[in-house]
Amino acid sequence: MIVARCRALAGSARFDAAILVVIVVNAVVLGLETYPSVADDAGDTLSRINDVFLGIFVVELLIRMVGSIHPDGPRATVRRFAANRWNLFDFFVVVASFLPGLRENATLLRLLRLARIVRVVRFLPDLQVIFGAVLRSLPGVAGLAVMTALLIYVYGMVGWVIFADHDPEQYGTVGTAMITMFVLLTLENLPDYVAAGRELSDWTLLFYVSYVLVASFLIFNLFIGIVIGAMEEARAQHRDEQRIRERAAAAATEGREDDLIVAVEDRIDELTKTLEELRTELRVRLHRELEEGRREGDGGG
CATH number of the domain residue 96 falls in = 1.20.120.350
Predicted confidence at residue 178, as pLDDT, reads: 92
Neighbour count for residue 110 (Cβ, 10 Å):
14
Domain that holds residue 59: 2-123
Residues 6+ apart with CB under 8 A from 258: 246, 249, 250
134 and 239 in a single domain? The answer is yes
> Is 257 a member of any domain?
no
* pLDDT score at 103: 62
Number of independent structural domains in the chain: 2
Outline where the chain has alpha helix (H). Answer: 2-10, 13-32, 36-67, 74-82, 85-96, 100-103, 106-118, 125-163, 168-171, 174-184, 190-200, 204-211, 220-252, 257-300
Nearest to 181 by CA among 200, 197, 159: 159
Give me the pLDDT at residue 150, please: 92
In a domain, 273, yes or no: no
Based on the domain organization, do 113 and 147 belong to the same domain? no
Asked, for residue 167, whether it belongs to a domain, the answer is yes
Angstrom CA distances, 124 to 170, 205, 221, 234, 300, stand at 46, 49, 28, 14, 63
Q: Give a yes or no: residue 266 inside a domain.
A: no
Q: How confident is residue 201, by pLDDT bands cut at 50, 70 and 90?
A: confident
3 state DSSP class of 134: helix
Model pLDDT, residue 93: 82
Q: 123, 139, 168: which is the final residue of a domain?
A: 123
Same domain for 171 and 104: no
Q: What is the pLDDT of residue 155?
A: 92
Residues 134 and 85 in one domain: no
Of 85, 100, 123, at which residue does a domain stop? 123
- Banded model confidence at residue 153, pLDDT cuts 50, 70, 90: very high
Domain match, 211 and 107 both = no
How much is the pLDDT for 156?
A: 92
- pLDDT surpasses 90 at 81: no
Contacts of 152 (CB under 8 A, 6+ apart): 178, 181, 182, 185, 215
**Residue among 131, 134, 98, 129 at smallest CA distance from 113:** 98
Q: Are 137 and 219 in contact (CB under 8 A)?
A: no
Shared domain for 118 and 185, answered yes or no, is: no
Structural domain contains residue 275: no
Task: Assess whether 101 and 171 both reside in one domain.
Answer: no
Q: Could you tell me the pLDDT band of residue 129, with boundaries at 50, 70 and 90?
A: confident
Residue 99 has what pLDDT?
78
The span from the CA of 241 to the CA of 248, in Å, is: 11
Q: What CATH number is associated with residue 198?
A: 1.10.287.70
Whether residues 76 and 168 share a domain: the answer is no
Does one domain contain both 156 and 234?
Answer: yes
pLDDT, position 83: 77
Are 65 and 81 in contact, with CB atoms under 8 Å apart?
yes
Question: Of the residues 71, 98, 123, which one is the last residue of a structural domain?
Answer: 123
Name the residue type at position 136.
R
Q: Is 289 inside any structural domain? A: no
Q: Reply yes or no on whether the pLDDT at 51 is more than 80.
A: yes
d(CA 97, CA 192): 53
**Domain contains 287:** no
Task: Note whether 86 and 119 are within 8 A (CB).
Answer: yes
DSSP 217: I
pLDDT beyond 70 at 4: yes
Q: Note whether 98 and 178 are same-domain residues.
A: no
Is the same domain home to 134 and 240?
yes
The DSSP line for 268-287 is HHHHHHHHHHHHHHHHHHHH
CA pair distance 84, 61, nearest whole angstrom: 13
In angstroms, rounded to a whole number, what is the distance separating the alpha carbons of residues 220 and 53?
Answer: 42
Q: Are residues 149 and 56 in the same domain?
A: no
Q: Please name the helix (run of DSSP H) or strand (run of DSSP E) that holds residue 256, with its range, or none.
A: none
Average pLDDT, the chain: 81
The answer to whether position 164 is within a domain reads yes
Report the alpha-carbon distance of residue 58 to residue 247 in Å, rounded: 29
Which 3 state secondary structure label does DSSP give 293? helix
